[in-house]
Amino acid sequence: MSQEPPATERRTRKRELRQHYRCMRREGQPAVNQQLRAQVAALLGSLPGSGRVGLYVPLPGEADLLPLASALPRLRPGLALPAVNGGQLHYLPWQPGDPLAADACGIPAPSGTGPALPAAAIDLLLIPALAIDHRGIRLGYGGGWYDRLRSQAPWRQVPTLAVLPRACLAESLPRDPWDIPLQGWVNELGTTWLATSEQR
């Protein structure tokens, strides 16, 4: 088993990789994002039952999945969006037409005052990523919000997939002690679920 490089080296490498994969993600848009949305629609259409799904409000360059809420009506009462408030990331109920307002990170989020959803209320999380490797290690923007959420045991049990172009699938990414592997990813070729043994 290979040893991870020192923390300072990992930070430098992650900064370089973020710049690299931002450029990679821009290639082929918007066609790639349309293909990504189609693959996510196929995934959601295949899910048993009508459990709640966590989506996200896209930043520039990310695939916009929110239109799927109207395209797949059975999901409409079962959606959630993330919001950062009080120094933590939470998921709040959302459906098309509900108002959004900037959260603590300036990203649109549900503006209702209802309680945050517990992990047990969500069957699947679809989250953005700059890159992911074959172990499920995700490269995000460096805020650590998803890692802190998933450091809680109940949230680690919620299947979580990155949504990103296949060009952003890496052989191996630097892993910090707090990086928690995802269960897989969705790209324009389809959905890949990792085996349990690869999550350790």
Residue 4: pLDDT band (50, 70, 90) is: low
Other beta carbons within 10 angstroms of residue 170's beta carbon come to 19
pLDDT at 25: 83
Contacts of 144 by beta carbon, 8 Å cutoff, 6+ apart: 178
Decide if pLDDT at 77 tops 80.
Answer: no
The domain spanning residue 24 has which CATH number? 3.40.50.10420
Q: For 171-196, how does the pLDDT look when each residue is reduced to its tens digit (9 = 90+)?
A: 999 998 889 999 999 999 999 999 85
Q: Which pLDDT tens digit goes with each residue over 126-168?
A: 999 999 999 999 999 888 999 999 999 999 999 999 999 999 9
In order of 41, 50, 83, 167, the CA distances from 171 in angstroms are 26, 34, 31, 11
Domain contains 113: yes
Q: Which two tokens stand for residue 179?
A: 């990086």
pTM of the model: 0.89
Q: Is residue 1 in a domain? A: no
Its domain, for residue 58, covers 7-199
**How many domains in the chain?**
1
> Does 191 fall in a domain?
yes
Among candidate residues 121, 170, 178, 116, the one with its CA nearest the CA of residue 146: 178
The alpha carbon dihedral of 171, 176, 181, 185 has a sign of negative
pLDDT band at 200 (very low <50, low <70, confident <90, very high): very low
